[in-house]
Every structure is written in C-alpha cells, then in structure tokens.
Amino acid sequence: MGETAADRASALQTVTESAKELDGAAQLAAVRAVVPTPDAETTKTLWIILVGGLVVALLVALLGLIYLLAEEDTSDVALTAFTAILTGLIGLFAPSPTNNSEK
C-alpha cells in the first residue's frame, strides 16, 4: 500500500517542527526530503493552469470594465481588478530582484 496524503502531511509537519532550530538551508533540505520538487511536466501543467486562469480573469475584468464604461456607471472596482490581475500576470514573467546574475 502506498503513502497517503495524510501520511505525507504528518511527515511534513514532523519535519517542519523538528527543523525549526536549523538554519534556512538545512530547513529547505529537510522539507525537500519529504516533499520533492515537481518534475518538468507537472511544473509545465501548473504554469499553464496558473497563466490560463489569470488570462481568463483578465479578460472577464476587461469585459466588465468596457461594459461599465459604456453604461457610464462607476467602474472603479472593475478597473482595480483589471490592473491588479494585469500586474500579477506581468509579475510572473519579470526577473526576480533577488536573483543576482551579475557575479
């Protein structure tokens, strides 16, 4: 019989509680021993779902914004949603400021 989700969650909780006193690198290594990094196919699928969901939300917010502007109603909420989703989507593709490639 294989490992269940409850077994994995219990092991992760045990590791995180045991590793509280360790430095950051040791904590990361301990957690990665219990929860391995996903393979390339899983990562690709997760990115497609994430970006696709954000694009759909962006389109819905844009259509709502256009409708509210055409009806001359207040469009503050739709504009806020549109800009927040757009900046979130753009932020996914921006390089990390903590990644220092100039060594």
State pLDDT tens for residues 12-21.
788 888 888 8
Residue segments in the chain with a per-residue pLDDT below the cut of 70: 1-2, 100-103
* Residue 45: inside a domain: yes
* Residue 23: inside a domain: yes
Residues 46/19, Cβ–Cβ less than 8 Å: no
- Residue 49 and residue 37: Cα distance in Å, rounded? 18
* Per-residue pLDDT, 52: 93
* Residue 102: inside a domain: no
Q: Is there a single domain that holds both residue 89 and residue 45? A: yes
* Per-residue pLDDT, 93: 85
* Per-residue pLDDT, 99: 72
Q: Is there a single domain that holds both residue 64 and residue 47? A: yes
- Residue 97 and residue 3: Cα distance in Å, rounded? 38
Domain range holding 71? 40-93
* Residue 17: inside a domain: yes
Q: Is there a single domain that holds both residue 24 and residue 50? A: no
* Residue 74: inside a domain: yes
If one counts the domains in the chain, the total is 2
Q: What is the pTM of this model?
A: 0.60
